[in-house]
A and B are shown apart, each in its own frame.
Chain A
Amino acid sequence: MKALAAQIESEVYMTLRRGETLLLTIGIPVAFLVFFTTVHVVTTGARHPVTFFVPGVLALAVMSTAMVSLGIATGFERGYGVLKRLGATPLGRPRLIAAKIATVVLVELVQAAVLVPVGYGLGWHPPSGPAAIGGAGTAALEALAVALLATVGFGGLGLLLAGVLKAELNLAVANALYLVLLLAGGMVVPVGKLPSGLQTLARALPAAALSDGLHAALGSGAPVPLEAWVVLAVWAVAAPLVAAATFRWE
Chain B
Amino acid sequence: MPDEIRAPGDVVIGCSDLVVRYGDVTAVDGVSFAVRAGEVVALLGPNGAGKTSTVECLEGYRHPASGRIRVLGLDPIAQHEALVAKIGVMLQRGGVYPMLGPRRALRLFAAYYQRARDPEELLDLVSLSPVAGTPWRHLSGGEQQRLSLALALVGRPEAVFLDEPTAGVDAEGRQDIRRVVAGLAAEGVGVLLTTHELSEAERMADRVVILRHGQVVAEGTPAGLAAGGQEIVRFGAPAGLDAGSLADALGVPVTEEEPGRYVVRARATPVLTATLAAWLADRELALTDLRSGRTLEEAYLDAVGEGDGSDTRREASP
User: Which residues on A are within 8 Å of B, measured CB to CB?
Assistant: 2-3, 5-7, 10, 13-14, 17-18, 76-77, 80-82, 84-85, 87-92, 250
| Structural contact, B113 and A82, CB atoms closer than 8 A | no
| Structural contact, A88 and B81, CB atoms closer than 8 A | no
A–B Cβ pairs within 8 angstroms, 6 of them: A7-B108, A10-B108, A14-B97, A82-B95, A84-B95, A85-B89
Q: Identify whether the interface residues of B are mostly helix, strand, loop, or mixed.
A: loop
Count chain B CB atoms within 10 A of each CB in A76, A87, A250 and give the residue with the most.
Answer: A87
Residue from the list B59, B84, B99 in contact with A17, Cβ < 8 A: B99
| Structural contact, A10 and B155, CB atoms closer than 8 A | no
CA distance in complex: A214, B108 (Å): 37
Residues of A within 8 A of B107 (CB): 6
Residues of B within 8 A of A3 (CB): 111-112
| Structural contact, B108 and A88, CB atoms closer than 8 A | no
Q: Which of B55-80 contact A (CB under 8 A)?
A: 59-61
Q: Which of B102-155 contact A (CB under 8 A)?
A: 104, 107-109, 111-113, 151, 155
Shortest CB distance A142–B (Å): 37
The answer to whether the Cβ of B96 comes within 8 Å of any Cβ in the partner chain is yes
Residue from the list A2, A10, A85 in contact with B100, Cβ < 8 A: A10
User: Which residues on B are within 8 Å of A, measured CB to CB?
Assistant: 59-61, 81, 84-85, 87, 89, 91, 93-100, 104, 107-109, 111-113, 151, 155
With CB as the reference atom, state the residue of chain A lying closest to B113.
A90
4 other A-B residue contacts (CB within 8 Å) besides A80-B97, A81-B93, A81-B95: A18-B99, A81-B94, A85-B94, A88-B89
With CB as the reference atom, state the residue of chain A lying closest to B99.
A14
Residue from the list A2, A77, A82, A88 in contact with B84, Cβ < 8 A: A88
| Structural contact, A82 and B81, CB atoms closer than 8 A | no
Shortest CB distance B11–A (Å): 20
Residues of B within 8 A of A14 (CB): 97, 99-100
CA distance in complex: A76, B99 (Å): 11
CA distance in complex: A250, B62 (Å): 11
Residues of B within 8 A of A18 (CB): 99
With CB as the reference atom, state the residue of chain B lying closest to A5.
B111
| Structural contact, A90 and B97, CB atoms closer than 8 A | no
| Structural contact, A92 and B81, CB atoms closer than 8 A | yes
Residues of A within 8 A of B91 (CB): 81, 84-85
Residues of B within 8 A of A82 (CB): 94-97
The 9 residue pairs across chains A and B that have the minimum distance between CB atoms: A6-B111, A85-B95, A81-B94, A88-B89, A81-B95, A80-B94, A89-B112, A90-B85, A14-B99
Shortest CB distance B94–A (Å): 4
CA distance in complex: A121, B191 (Å): 63
With CB as the reference atom, state the residue of chain B lying closest to A82.
B97
Residue from the list A2, A17, A84, A91 in contact with B61, Cβ < 8 A: A84
With CB as the reference atom, state the residue of chain A lying closest to B76.
A88
With CB as the reference atom, state the residue of chain A lying closest to B136.
A80
| Structural contact, B96 and A80, CB atoms closer than 8 A | yes
Residue from the list B61, B93, B108 in contact with A87, Cβ < 8 A: B61
CA distance in complex: A71, B256 (Å): 59
CA distance in complex: A89, B59 (Å): 11
Residues of B within 8 A of A88 (CB): 59-61, 84, 87, 89
Shortest CB distance A69–B (Å): 14
CA distance in complex: A82, B99 (Å): 11
CA distance in complex: A84, B95 (Å): 7
Residues of B within 8 A of A90 (CB): 81, 84-85, 112-113, 155
Shortest CB distance A161–B (Å): 20
